[in-house]
Structure 1
Amino acid sequence: MIGIVESNNKVLEETLKYIEGKKIKLALASFSDLNGSLRAKLIPSSRLQSVCQSGAGFAGFAVGDLGHGPHDPDILCIPDLRSMTILPWNKEIAWFAGTLTEDGTPWPFCTRTILLNVLTQAKSMGYTMKTGVEPEFFLVKQGEDGKIAPFDEQDKELKPCYQQQALMRNIEFLGTLIEYMNELKWNVTQADHEDANGQFEINFDFSDAVTSADRHTFFKYMIRTMAEERGLIATFMPKPFSNLTGNGCHMHLSLWDEREERNVFEDAHDPKGFGLSAVAYHFIAGILNHAKALAAIVCPTVNSYKRLGALNSSSGSTWAPNFISYGGNNRTQLIRIPDAGRIEFRAMDGSCNPYLATAAILAAGLDGIEKRMDPGDPFNGNLYMFHSIENEFDKLPSTLNEAIEALESDEVLVKALGETFMETFIKRKKAEWKEYHDYVSEWEVEKYLKGY
């Protein structure tokens, strides 16, 4: 079990010494469920050593979708000591990302383990993956009628992106968040007001894929905690407002030679002029080839498809991709090439499980490398304006149901992420789609009650 191996005596000894020196009283042994929600147990720091050795026990069936019935033994969470994160707002508590086991072997329903498994495949090919994410979120308030609105009542401009006045009205929240993130050594690069009213984005340094997924997971927890403390709701919901831009979570990524610490995506002699290598183009082709199935993982909710593929918002653009395409520094593409040596995947949204999404993107790209796929020529026009190109490019799925059907028939992704786990994931998502489809909405009543 990877978590147990990583908790070797030397690392454990150093961690315990650090915890004692910092007067940390409690530890959160945490893991992500299928949807990316955090589950945890609170452990006195004096018991951390025993938990690292034998795990924190959970009734797996109570969590749901962990491959457990009510009759099964405990599922055990083994903290990865490298992931230790001291809560900036309560320095007496340390958070640990964990991997799951039942008998000492990796558990197939652990999404962090799924990512580690795909990274092992990459390692066998000589690669390691580095990623950086750009999580977008809204700060909203909820009225007595249950309806939500942007927290900042003065944030009403039709094109509010980068609006300095709106940014500074929220400086207490954003400034505190940046302080926390830098305290954690994440190295914030910038923060901005995004394209929708009440929407923000924080950018921070890239890292290895597991560390970035851990940070992304903790980031969502930290933002929500900060909002709750202020009587607000922080939401990563892909499309909380029908007229506004949705919450994307763009991922910047590159592959590196593990032995030489060299970016294998970079090539100054790229004949296409983007500074990418043949390996990078094969990787891009793999993502394009699996894009429809990949959507079910990186855009995993019914609401995701209200964002994905939408053409208009009150600001004039949704900034979400419509077509399965790639190009240069062009934000209308599924895959953008912002700079030499890296690509940006723009379909992913705020509802994804960070571990599962990273694993799926990597698996798709590795398949492109293994099969030496060709992505074809890049497209550099405005994909939001050229509806006639539908015959040239495939479109991304328009519903969760369409994406799940694509995933179900994608043998490469199903195998890479684990057939047992994927059977459960697909079943859950089909049920989610049916629940949505069967629900009679307020819109339907208003539209059809008297008119038909």
Structure 2
Amino acid sequence: MAIDTAEAFTPIASDTQPTLTELVHSTGTTFILALFVTLSGKPCAKLVPAQAVGQLEKDGVGFAGFAAGGMGQQPKDPDLVAMPDASSFTPIPFIRPGLALVHCDPHVEGEPWPYSPRIILRETLRRAADLGFTVNVGAEIEYFLVNRGTSGELVTADASDRSSQPCYDARDVTRMYDHLTEISTAMNALGWGNYANDHEDGNGQFEQNFDYADAMTTADRVITARYLLSVVAEKRGMRATFMPKPFADRTGSGMHMHLSLWREDGAAFPDPADEKGLGLSSTAYGFIAGILDHACALQAVIAPTVNSYKRTGATTTSSGATWSPRFATYGGNDRTHYLRVPDCHRVELRGGDGSANPYLAAAAAIAAGLDGVQRALDPGAPGSGDSKSDSLPMTLLHAMDALDRDPVLTGALDIAGPGVAEYFARLKREEFFAWHNTVTPWEIDQYLTAF
């Protein structure tokens, strides 16, 4: 279904942020998805009619937190009350006429809930502001379009997408024209600034880019984009998956983040007098060094699934490259590094994948980088990494052990209240052992008649 650009979101003129009620009425919205995400990144929502927007705005909408999963609650606990952030209001009439989405901050008994990823990021950005910085983030969302085969196996949705090096293939892009252009038009109707849509390195893998923004806005947009991609793909009989490594022989899906610090007087990263040759300031190098110093623990947050380590642990793919880092190094415009420096304004963190919760990923990366800035760390010469954290974790279990040992990263998760880091690590260890306790086809093939 093509998007009517006349329905594109145009905020009403005001010297202050419009209220949610004003936005709903001015855009002809009839229903609102009041949405929050769990620690695992699952989008949870209730559908609220426009007639109840005043109640939503004043009182929020309640959820049983334990039922949502991954929100630090038990069945006996009080409701999570999702309080809408009007600045995140997003009309999406191209999904359903009159539909809009608003991101919410969960509260419990009137207080912000510390297990909420969005609140964790909000507190992290407040801490950055106390240090004199604002943070901009750009996110690259990679995904596969797949179906299930007759035996339940995962297959590429486009049966003709079979070449050995499909990256950027114009023919593969053209066959997915309707899907890609619908998403592109949606992004631009929302003012995101979609500027490229391409076929990535794996058969059936795509990426659709949009402009960077402040860290919270970008995290909201990642969640919204995943929702849009999933719904639009399903409409065409496909499934969009952000699973890090759905195919053993193909490149995995990353969620690369481009991070930059800004002060009131402008960008904090550039310095033309840089002796290391990348045009960066001591602030930028401190930020880089902080991320490298905490890289192993950071992986627990930005690569938070069992499947993540099939991506970072890959040694080869059918195309000849994995495009995922195995070591915590940094360098210039070189995609083999954990931290790539494309220009003097930003650094690209390449360790994250499609399963990452964008709020937690941004919060953890910012906390690691700011720790390096505050300690005036030096990352060494480009092309090197910190020897203590050079090799990234082999499995999710190794990453959780690294997280437990890192007070800066556990502090980043606990920034809105204690216990979040411990809870998150426990959930992820349970996930690891649930996988570990499953007998796989590989084990049957390897061991059935081996002894």
Please say whether Structure 1 and Structure 2 have the same fold, judged by a TM-score greater than 0.5. yes
1:421–1:393 Cα change, 3 Å? closer
Q: 1:232 deviation in Å? A: 0.7
Instruction: Summarize deviations over 1:14-66 as a string: whole Å, max 9, x none.
Output: 54234223321111111000111111111111212222221101111211232
SS at match of 1:52: helix
Question: Any residues of structure 2 matched to 1:206-217 within 5 Å, and which?
Answer: 206-217=212-223
Aligned AA (2:191) = K
Distance in 2, Cα, partners of 1:12 & 1:251? 28
User: Is the counterpart of residue 172 in structure 1 residue 155 in structure 2?
Assistant: no
- Matched-pair contact (CA < 8 Å) for 1:129–1:255: yes
Aligned AA (1:94) = A
SS at match of 1:214: helix
Q: Which moved more, 1:130-139 or 1:268-277?
A: 268-277
Aligned AA (1:226) = V
Distance in 2, Cα, partners of 1:46 & 1:13? 18
User: Is the counterpart of residue 27 in structure 1 residue 32 in structure 2?
Assistant: yes
Aligned AA (2:49) = P
- In structure 1, the partner of 2:369 is 365
- In structure 2, the partner of 1:405 is 401
1:12–1:252 Cα change, 3 Å? closer
Aligned AA (1:46) = Q
| C-alpha RMSD of matched pairs (Å) | 1.8
Aligned AA (1:355) = Y
Q: 1:104 deviation in Å? A: 2.3
- In structure 2, the partner of 1:219 is 225
SS at match of 2:218: helix
TM-score (norm 1): 0.93
Distance in 2, Cα, partners of 1:373 & 1:427? 31
Question: Any residues of structure 2 matched to 1:171-320 within 5 Å, and which?
Answer: 171-257=177-263, 259-260=264-265, 262-320=266-324
Q: 1:327 deviation in Å? A: 0.4
Distance in 2, Cα, partners of 1:162 & 1:23? 39
SS at match of 2:113: coil
Instruction: Summarize deviations over 1:326-377 as a string: whole Å, max 9, x none.
Output: 0010000000001111110000000011101110000101111111111111
Q: 1:141 deviation in Å? A: 1.0
Distance in 1, Cα, partners of 2:434 & 2:126? 37
Distance in 1, Cα, partners of 2:126 & 2:304? 25
User: Is the counterpart of residue 89 in structure 1 residue 95 in structure 2?
Assistant: yes
- In structure 1, the partner of 2:137 is 131
1:393–1:84 Cα change, 3 Å? closer
Aligned AA (2:67) = A
Distance in 1, Cα, partners of 2:362 & 2:225? 16
SS at match of 1:67: coil
Distance in 1, Cα, partners of 2:386 & 2:272? 33
Counterpart among 328, 339, 346 of residue 343 in structure 2: 339
Aligned AA (1:409) = R
1:13–1:46 Cα change, 3 Å? farther
1:147–1:423 Cα change, 3 Å? same
Distance in 2, Cα, partners of 1:118 & 1:28? 26
SS at match of 2:207: strand
SS at match of 2:195: strand
- Matched-pair contact (CA < 8 Å) for 1:295–1:347: yes
Distance in 2, Cα, partners of 1:11 & 1:98? 20
Instruction: Summarize deviations over 1:206-261 as a string: whole Å, max 9, x none.
Output: 0000000000010001000011111111001000000000001111110011x33x
SS at match of 2:112: coil
Distance in 2, Cα, partners of 1:393 & 1:82? 39
Q: 1:144 deviation in Å? A: 2.9
- Matched-pair contact (CA < 8 Å) for 2:293–2:388: no
Aligned AA (2:406) = D
Q: Name structure 1 gaps, 5 residues minimum.
A: 1-8, 381-388
Question: Any residues of structure 2 matched to 1:147-162 within 5 Å, and which?
Answer: 147-162=153-168
Aligned AA (2:57) = C
- In structure 1, the partner of 2:425 is 426
- In structure 1, the partner of 2:4 is none
User: Is the counterpart of residue 98 in structure 1 residue 99 in structure 2?
Assistant: no
- In structure 2, the partner of 1:396 is 392
- Matched-pair contact (CA < 8 Å) for 1:118–1:417: no
Distance in 2, Cα, partners of 1:394 & 1:161? 29
User: Is the counterpart of residue 142 in structure 1 residue 173 in structure 2?
Assistant: no
1:392–1:118 Cα change, 3 Å? closer
Q: 1:313 deviation in Å? A: 0.2
Aligned AA (1:29) = A
- In structure 2, the partner of 1:48 is 53
Distance in 2, Cα, partners of 1:440 & 1:165? 40
1:67–1:268 Cα change, 3 Å? same
SS at match of 1:188: coil
1:188–1:13 Cα change, 3 Å? closer
- Matched-pair contact (CA < 8 Å) for 1:325–1:393: no
Distance in 2, Cα, partners of 1:393 & 1:292? 6
TM-score (norm 2): 0.93
1:38–1:341 Cα change, 3 Å? same
1:30–1:10 Cα change, 3 Å? farther
Q: Name structure 2 gaps, 5 residues minimum.
A: 1-13
Aligned AA (1:427) = R
Distance in 1, Cα, partners of 2:240 & 2:275? 44
Aligned AA (1:228) = E
Q: 1:314 deviation in Å? A: 0.4
SS at match of 2:362: helix
Aligned AA (1:412) = V
Q: Which moved more, 1:104-113 or 1:314-323?
A: 104-113
1:15–1:67 Cα change, 3 Å? closer
- Matched-pair contact (CA < 8 Å) for 2:20–2:57: no
Aligned AA (1:266) = P
| Aligned-residue identity in percent | 44
- In structure 2, the partner of 1:16 is 21
- In structure 2, the partner of 1:441 is 440
